[in-house]
């Protein structure tokens, strides 16, 4: 089946620094990828839609200048958390659909970000 | 997108059949019902999708009554490894992005 891979799986950073998370579609091309955030004991919340070759679309309440998204190729989207603070500590998950009309979304394994 | 309501948690024992019901009173005509499974510290994984009546695959069955205002995910003979959070989502088929997750149901399977 289709595979979406995230890297790193976990990262610890100091407050005020930036962290980049990569999301790759390993065996298919994805013109669109999606980024979610999940706090402990809570559900996934959609943050933004990553569009290959164009600007990302952010959900209401998500700061685009804080969560920078780049989708430079058909198999890679990156999420950079800028000037991270402890409240940004969360589980970040990306997803992609394999093809138009496909019934299932494929999710990465997630990235656990801890800001200290 | 239609809102879904599920029980927050359920307990079961190994070998039992588990049925998780989801309410979606405002489901639209072109909406499908999709279930995802999520283990701790992992991304969700697709389980099954259906539109009406019954759908079965190697993992689960999905029962959808005629009015489609609810659906039931049935897991036959659960094992400890089925302990996870199960999410019911409603939306157009082919919508593999911008998924709106509800609170999900935490299933705890006991030995």
pLDDT, tens digit (0-9, with 9 covering 90-100), for A3-54 = 999 999 999 999 999 999 999 999 889 889 999 999 999 999 999 999 998 9
- The H or E element spanning position A13 is strand A10-13
Strand (E) or helix (H) holding A73? strand A67-73
Cβ partners under 8 Å of residue B95, min gap 6: none
User: Interface of chain B against chain A, CB under 8 Å?
Assistant: 32, 34, 41-46, 49, 87, 93-94, 96-104
Confidence band, pLDDT 50/70/90 cuts, at residue A1: low
Which of B32, B87, B98 is facing A46, going by the closest CB pair?
B98
| Cβ partners under 8 Å of residue A62, min gap 6 | A47, A48
pLDDT surpassing 90 at residue B98: no
Which pair of structure tokens corresponds to residue A59? 């959900």
Beta bridge partners of B32: B91
Asked if B87's CB is within 8 angstroms of A43's CB, the reply is: yes
Cα gap A67→B28, rounded to integer Å? 33
- Put simply, the answer to whether B98 touches A49 (Cβ < 8 Å) is yes
- Over range B67-89, report the average pLDDT: 97
pLDDT computed for residue B23 by the predictor: 97
Closest approach of chain B CAs to the CA of A82, in angstroms?
23
Q: How far is CA A44 from the centre of its chain?
A: 12
pLDDT given for residue B1 in this prediction: 57
Structure tokens at B28: 């639209």
CB A51 within 8 A of CB B100: no
Q: How do residues A53-85 score in pLDDT, each as one tens digit?
A: 899 999 999 999 999 999 989 999 999 999 999
How would residue B64 be classed by pLDDT, with cut points 50, 70 and 90?
very high
What are the φ and ψ backbone dihedral angles of B81, each rounded to 5 degrees?
-75, -5
Our CA-based measurement puts residue A43 at a distance from the nearest CA of chain B, in whole angstroms, of 5
| Alpha-carbon gap, residue A51 to A113, rounded angstroms | 23
CA distance linking residue B27 with residue B65, whole number of Å: 12
- Return the higher-pLDDT residue of A97 and B56: B56
């Amino acid at each position: 089946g289709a595979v979406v891979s995230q890297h790193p799986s976990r990262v610890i950073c100091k407050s005020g620094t930036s962290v980049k998370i990569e999301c790759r579609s390993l065996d298919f091309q994805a013109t669109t990828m999606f980024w979610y955030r999940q706090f402990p004991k809570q559900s996934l919340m959609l943050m933004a839609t990553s569009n290959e070759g164009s600007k990302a679309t952010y959900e209401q309440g998500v700061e685009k200048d804080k969560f920078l998204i780049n989708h430079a190729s058909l198999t890679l989207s990156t999420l950079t958390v800028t000037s991270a603070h402890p409240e940004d500590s969360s589980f970040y998950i990306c997803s992609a659909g394999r093809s138009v009309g496909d019934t299932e979304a494929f999710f990465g394994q997630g990235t656990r970000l801890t800001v200290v | 997108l239609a809102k879904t309501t599920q029980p927050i948690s359920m307990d079961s024992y190994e070998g039992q059949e588990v049925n998780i019901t989801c309410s979606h009173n405002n489901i639209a005509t072109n909406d499908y019902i999709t279930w995802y499974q999520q283990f701790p510290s992992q991304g969700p994984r697709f389980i099954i999708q259906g539109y009406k009546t019954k759908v079965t695959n190697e993992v689960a069955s999905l029962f959808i009554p005629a009015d489609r205002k609810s659906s039931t995910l049935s897991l036959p003979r659960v094992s400890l490894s089925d302990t996870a959070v199960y999410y019911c989502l409603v939306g157009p088929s082919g919508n593999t992005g911008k998924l709106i997750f509800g609170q999900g149901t935490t299933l705890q399977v006991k030995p």
